[in-house]
Structures are given as C-alpha cells and as structure tokens.
Amino acid sequence: MVTLEEMKNYLRVDYEDDDALIENLIAAAKRQCKDILRTDDDADLEQAENGKIAVMFTTAYLYEHREEADHHALNLTLRALLFGSRKEGF
C-alpha cells in the first residue's frame, strides 16, 4: 500500500539510516488504521477513501513525534480521515 520509497519521499528523508524504523512505522500505521476502520482485512484499508493518506499521515506522525506522540489526538484525526469507510463493528 505504501512503499518505503514513497514514505521516505513524503518524509523528505534521503538517507538509509532510518529505513528499518520507517518500515516498522508503516506496519504500525497500517495496523492502527485498520483498528480505526474496525477491520483485519488489508483490502478494506486499501479501498478506504483516505486509506493511503491515513497510513502516510500516521507513519509521518509517529516518525516525527517519536518521543512525545499524542496517540489520542492521532486517533481522533484518523477517525476523521477514515470515518466514511469505518465499519459499525468488528
């Protein structure tokens, strides 16, 4: 859904030192976005109207706020981005 190169471009990172970290953050972002959507299916996230943007936003937020991330505020933003695709329940 989001490649390492796409994410590095979005973050404006042009070195390889953080590649493993960014890949892990992409995976964490996908999981968090799927939790907000109330799904376990990657296809649901990929088909969500703002799915890719939500994953990229979450990855960037986690990368840039590694030490002081406000997960409550992040989840509120994700709910707003993904609300139209969110399922009523699991």
Would you state the pLDDT for residue 2? Answer: 97
Structure tokens at 65: 């706020």
Q: How many CB atoms lie within 10 A of CB 4?
A: 14
Would you state the pLDDT for residue 89? Answer: 66
Phi, psi of 9 (to 5 degrees): -65, -45
**Digits of tens for pLDDT over the chain (90 positions)?**
999 999 999 999 999 999 999 999 999 999 999 999 999 999 999 999 999 999 999 999 999 999 999 999 999 999 999 998 988 765
Buried b (16+ CB within 10 A) or exposed e, 35-74: ebbebeeeebbeebebbeebbbbbbbbbbeeeeeeeeeeb
Residue-range domain boundaries for the chain: 4-85
Would you state the pLDDT for residue 88? Answer: 78
Phi, psi of 17 (to 5 degrees): -60, -35
